[in-house]
Amino acid sequence: MALAAVAYVVIGIVFAALAKSADANYVRLWRLAAWVASAAVAAAHIGYQHYRLSSSPRPTALHAAGAVALGAFGLALAANVHWLFAGTPGQPAPLLALPVWPVITALPAFPLALAVAAALARFSRRA
């Protein structure tokens, strides 16, 4: 779970830097690439939980959503550090992001991961 969370943070920071340095026409492309990379991490995490650890759908979804929440917390922490060093006058610190981002990302991640894990459990050839 921690490895996936770190991957989400790295994807968020790297692709944000690439989007910031890109031409205005390519910003959406970098954001889409970040979504695709994050989806690949999520798929790999769910697959790992299902095939390697033989987890049932609910624990798989809990671990996947937990990794998403930890990754979102890491990105919120990075946003606060960026605010601290950017020195933007008149802009308040994004402290509310610390509790909110993990919740708003984990809530949709859980049912999606549960559906994928349940489909894997139903249609997998695993014994």
Range of the domain at 29: 2-123
Q: Model's pTM, two decimal places?
A: 0.89
Of 57, 60, 54, which is closest to residue 4 (Cα–Cα)? Answer: 60
Using a 10 angstrom Cβ sphere, with 0-12 exposed, 13-18 middle and 19 or more buried, the burial of residue 113 is buried
The string of pLDDT tens digits covering residues 29-58 is: 999 999 999 999 999 999 999 999 999 999
Long-range contacts of 87-90 (CB under 8 A, 24+ apart): none
| pLDDT band with cut points at 50, 70 and 90 for residue 118 | very high
Asked if residue 42 lies in contact with residue 7, where contact means CB atoms within 8 angstroms, the answer is no
Q: What's the rounded Cα separation, in Å, for the pair 14 and 125?
A: 37
- Residue 127 in this model has a pLDDT that exceeds 60: no
Q: How many domains does the chain have?
A: 1
SS (H, E, C) 14-69: HHHHHHHHCCHHHHHHHHHHHHHHHHHHHHHHHHHHHHHCCCCHHHHHHHHHHHHH
